[in-house]
């Protein structure tokens, strides 16, 4: 079972069964108890007719039943299709059309009208469950694909990435090499369980090290701080938007976070100002680069590494930064990030059959822009399609956002291009401010001149915004990722 997703949980249950594996609200599971719950769920899925190779759609809610279902479905050789708990009916219809699931596992409020058997959480995990346990198999009987993880679909039709047992196991091995975690660590997870960082990232690494995972039912800064304090959490996963909210929280400097040694940051380019706030607080930040197609992280920085670097590739992963012709660019020059290695998915899952993820030589063309430094460390600077071309000059939104992140009174910042008849596009900044900003004494709202004054000496003038929009909130997806395609709608508000 060494190359089977979930094998690490079984091994830990055998060798360290009495250790605490999972905490959720007022309940805990030892490794032995978690393993037993998985085996009982396998037996119950079998009773409901799920077989190896079948697809099972699951509401990826942040609850222990979802984690147990994840391990149970993949262990029996079926394929889990985890979705964000707030998925819309239209999105669910696309997923079911592409995957033809035999069952949908979900709670109340999840869209109906789907094909296949509908199972509630209580059907698989009844209160006081003491049902029979399925025997342990040497290997899953069914599909080599363990999980079909659908991309967020911020533009176009969502795509299902077919992640094999081998992909997820190699991703976990990369995390073991790149994350500074150990058996005494307690990791906090406060993201939906459909996130690829849960499937191949920090919780799997923590369980491999026989540490403890604390699962939050949702992300809320107050709850996050409470859980760190109450469970003496030592590490956590947070997308940059979550980290920014925590850094501005009134309790950020209190003793409630004293046990937190480091956070794993991923999902979008990190903001220098937020990272420096964490470092000043004594909390390291491990920047990571990864995508759904790479089964989570393929690079990890050291906790005290430079503010923008995401670190060097993990073992067995190759990275290159290429120009439009596919040739590697010099050190320090931005280009498209290409990834090759055993954690990279081989195909997208579609109703018509598999569609290759990589080119003929095994490279996945990420669509992200990045650059290497002299020490082989990767810095992500944005998306190819998000590059602003103004007056013939290229501007990476993430670079401008990073420079504005410490602007007084700014809570969140986003930058995009807006059509312009003269310049082609103009750099446009969207700011969310707090109530105490005094950039403009009359209105309490920063002006374009204030923003440009802040950037003077930091960025070349062609990168300065020509338009400023102060907005109440930025459009974000279910996992906290900025939805740039929706920024244009704020221009008319």
Given this model, what pLDDT does residue 335 score?
A: 95
Q: Name the residue range of residue 362's domain.
A: 7-372
Whether 1 is in a domain gets the answer: no
Q: Check whether residue 353 and residue 466 sit in a common domain.
A: no
Q: Check whether residue 142 and residue 235 sit in a common domain.
A: yes
Banded model confidence at residue 153, pLDDT cuts 50, 70, 90: very low
Residue 112 has pLDDT above 80, yes or no: no
Q: Check whether residue 361 and residue 487 sit in a common domain.
A: no
The region of weakest confidence among 90-94, 119-123, 141-145, 475-479 is 475-479
244 vs 114: which has the higher pLDDT? 244
Residue 116 has pLDDT above 90, yes or no: no
Q: Check whether residue 358 and residue 391 sit in a common domain.
A: no
Given this model, what pLDDT does residue 1 score?
A: 47
Q: Check whether residue 94 and residue 182 sit in a common domain.
A: yes
Contacts of 343 (CB under 8 A, 6+ apart): 167, 168, 170, 171, 174, 200, 294, 295, 296, 298, 316, 317
Domain of residue 227, CATH code: 3.40.50.12780
Given this model, what pLDDT does residue 188 score?
A: 98
The region of weakest confidence among 137-141, 146-150, 430-434 is 137-141
Q: Check whether residue 269 and residue 326 sit in a common domain.
A: yes
Q: Check whether residue 300 and residue 408 sit in a common domain.
A: no
Banded model confidence at residue 269, pLDDT cuts 50, 70, 90: low
Model pLDDT for residues 165-174, shown as the tens digit of each residue: 999 999 999 9
Given this model, what pLDDT does residue 341 score?
A: 97
Decide if 134 contacts 39 (C-beta within 8 A).
Answer: yes
- Among 306, 341, 372, which residue terminates a domain? 372
Average pLDDT, the chain: 89
Banded model confidence at residue 267, pLDDT cuts 50, 70, 90: low
Whether 198 is in a domain gets the answer: yes
Whether 364 is in a domain gets the answer: yes
Residue 437 has pLDDT above 50, yes or no: no
**In 3D, which of 426, 322, 312, 308 has the Cα closest to residue 366?**
322
58 vs 271: which has the higher pLDDT? 58
For residue 177, how many other CB atoms are within 10 A of its CB?
A: 13
Residue 365 has pLDDT above 90, yes or no: yes
- Among 330, 346, 372, which residue terminates a domain? 372
Domain of residue 467, CATH code: 3.30.300.30
Q: Check whether residue 395 and residue 353 sit in a common domain.
A: no
Whether 411 is in a domain gets the answer: yes
Whether 379 is in a domain gets the answer: no
Model pLDDT for residues 48-83, shown as the tens digit of each residue: 999 999 999 999 989 999 999 999 999 999 999 999
Residue 161 has pLDDT above 50, yes or no: yes
d(CA 178, CA 268): 18
Strand partners for 348 = 161, 355
Radius of gyration of the chain (CA): 23
Q: Check whether residue 277 and residue 350 sit in a common domain.
A: yes
Using a CB cutoff of 8 Å and minimum separation of 24, what contacts does 109-115 make?
110/59, 110/85, 111/87, 113/89, 114/57
Q: Check whether residue 47 and residue 169 sit in a common domain.
A: yes
For the chain, the domain total comes to: 2
- Among 340, 372, 404, which residue terminates a domain? 372
Whether 41 is in a domain gets the answer: yes
Banded model confidence at residue 113, pLDDT cuts 50, 70, 90: low
Give the residue-averaged pLDDT of 120-133: 85
Whether 86 is in a domain gets the answer: yes
Banded model confidence at residue 442, pLDDT cuts 50, 70, 90: low
Residue 394 has pLDDT above 70, yes or no: yes
**In 3D, which of 436, 308, 431, 427 has the Cα closest to residue 373?**
308
Q: Check whether residue 309 and residue 399 sit in a common domain.
A: no
Whole-Å CA distances, 90 to 79, 80, 81, 82, 108? 21, 19, 16, 16, 17
Given this model, what pLDDT does residue 143 score?
A: 76
Whether 2 is in a domain gets the answer: no
Given this model, what pLDDT does residue 438 score?
A: 45
Q: Check whether residue 357 and residue 411 sit in a common domain.
A: no
Given this model, what pLDDT does residue 223 score?
A: 97
């Amino acid at each position: 079972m060494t190359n089977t997703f979930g094998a690490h949980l079984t091994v830990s249950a055998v060798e360290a069964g009495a250790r605490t594996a999972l905490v959720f609200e007022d309940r805990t599971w030892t490794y032995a108890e978690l393993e037993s719950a998985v085996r009982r769920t396998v037996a119950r899925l079998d009773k409901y007719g799920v077989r190896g190779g079948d697809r099972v759609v699951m509401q990826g809610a942040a609850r222990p039943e979802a984690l147990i279902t994840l391990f149970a479905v993949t262990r029996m050789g079926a394929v889990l299709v985890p979705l964000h708990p707030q998925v819309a009916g239209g999105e669910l219809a696309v997923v079911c059309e592409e995957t033809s699931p035999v069952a949908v596992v979900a709670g109340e409020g999840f869209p109906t009208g789907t094909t296949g058997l509908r199972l509630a959480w209580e059907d698989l995990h009844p209160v006081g469950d003491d049902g029979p346990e399925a025997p342990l198999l040497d290997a899953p009987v069914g599909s080599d694909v363990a999980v079909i993880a659908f991309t967020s679909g911020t533009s176009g039709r969502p795509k299902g990435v077919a992640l094999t047992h081998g992909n997820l196991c190699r991703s976990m091995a990369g995390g073991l090499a790149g994350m500074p975690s150990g058996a005494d660590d307690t990791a906090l997870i406060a993201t939906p369980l459909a996130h690829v960082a849960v499937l191949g990232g920090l919780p799997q690494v923590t369980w491999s090290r026989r540490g403890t995972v604390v699962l939050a039912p949702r992300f809320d800064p107050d709850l996050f701080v409470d859980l760190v304090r109450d469970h003496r959490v030592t590490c956590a996963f947070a997308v940059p938007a979550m980290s920014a909210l925590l850094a501005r929280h009134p309790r950020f400097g209190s003793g409630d976070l004293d046990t937190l040694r480091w956070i794993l940051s991923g999902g979008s380019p990190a903001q220098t100002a937020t990272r420096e706030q964490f470092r000043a607080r004594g909390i390291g930040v491990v920047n990571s680069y990864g995508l759904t197609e790479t089964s989570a992280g393929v690079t990890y920085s050291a906790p005290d590494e430079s503010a923008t670097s995401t670190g060097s590739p993990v073992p067995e992963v190759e990275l290159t930064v290429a120009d439009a012709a596919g040739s590697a660019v010099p050190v320090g020059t931005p280009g498209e990030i290409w990834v090759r290695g055993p954690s990279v998915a081989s195909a997208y899952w579609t109703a018509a059959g598999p569609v290759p993820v990589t080119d003929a030589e095994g490279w996945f063309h990420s669509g992200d822009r990045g650059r290497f430094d002299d020490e082989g460390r990767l810095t992500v600077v944005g998306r190819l399609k998000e590059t602003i071309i103004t007056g013939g000059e290229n501007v990476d939104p993430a670079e401008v956002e990073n420079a504005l992140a410490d602007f007084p009174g700014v809570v969140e910042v986003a930058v995009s291009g807006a059509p312009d008849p003269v310049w082609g596009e103009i750099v446009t900044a969207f700011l969310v401010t707090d109530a105490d900003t005094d950039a403009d004494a009359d209105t309490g709202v920063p002006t374009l001149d204030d923003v440009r004054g802040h950037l003077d000496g930091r960025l070349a003038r062609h990168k300065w915004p020509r338009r400023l929009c102060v907005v109440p909130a930025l459009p974000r997806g279910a996992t906290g990722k900025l939805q740039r395609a929706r920024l244009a709608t704020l221009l008319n508000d």
